[in-house]
Amino acid sequence: MSVLNIFNKKKSIDTEVYGLLNQFTEISLKIPMQKRKNLFDNEGYYPIVFGYFFGAMDYLKQQKNISESKMKKIFRTYLSENFTEGDLNNASYLYTFLLESIKEDDTKEYMRVGRSTFKIWMENRFETSSSLNRLLIEAEKR
CB 7 within 8 A of CB 50: no
Summarised one tens digit per residue, pLDDT across range 72-119 is 888 888 888 888 888 888 888 888 888 888 889 999 999 999 999 999
**Helices 46-63, 68-83: crossing angle, 10 deg rounding:** 140
Summarised one tens digit per residue, pLDDT across range 1-50 is 444 444 445 557 778 888 899 999 999 998 888 888 788 888 888 999 99
CB-side neighbour CA atoms (13 Å) of 22: 12
pTM: 0.84
